[in-house]
Amino acid sequence: MDQSAFLDAMNITRWRSADKPIKPYLVLHDLDADLSDESLINDVLRLLNVKIAECEFDCEMVKGPQVIWDMRKVKVRPRVAWIVSAPLSELPINPQEKRQLWQQIILHIDKQQTDKEERNAQH
Coil, strand or helix: which one is 70? strand
Fold of 3-122: Rossmann fold (3.40.50)
Residues 6+ positions from 55 with CB-CB distance below 8 Å: 23, 25, 26, 27, 36, 45, 68
Compute φ and ψ for 66, nearest 5 degrees: -75, 125
| Residue 55: per-residue pLDDT | 92
∠ CA(50), CA(56), CA(58), 5° rounding? 130
> Average of pLDDT values for 59-87?
86
Q: Alpha carbon of 15 to those of 5, 9, 121: distances in Å? A: 15, 16, 42
Q: Which of 94, 75, 61, 73 is nearest to 31 (CA)?
A: 73
pLDDT in tens, 8-19: 666 666 565 555
pLDDT in tens, 24-46: 999 999 876 667 678 889 999 99
| Residue 80: per-residue pLDDT | 85
User: Mean pLDDT: which of 13-17, 58-62, 67-71, 110-114 is highest?
Assistant: 67-71
Q: Which of 46, 9, 8, 5 is nearest to 25 (CA)?
A: 46
> Average of pLDDT values for 77-105?
90
Mean residue pLDDT across the chain = 83
| Residue 89: per-residue pLDDT | 87
Tell me the C-alpha distance between 105 and 109, whole Å.
Answer: 6
Q: What residue spans of 1-123 are helical by DSSP H? A: 3-9, 39-47, 95-122
CB 105 within 8 A of CB 81: no
- Which sequence spans correspond to the domains of the chain? 3-122
pLDDT at 2 over 70: no
Q: How confident is the model at residue 62 (pLDDT cuts 50, 70, 90)?
A: confident
pLDDT at 52 over 80: yes
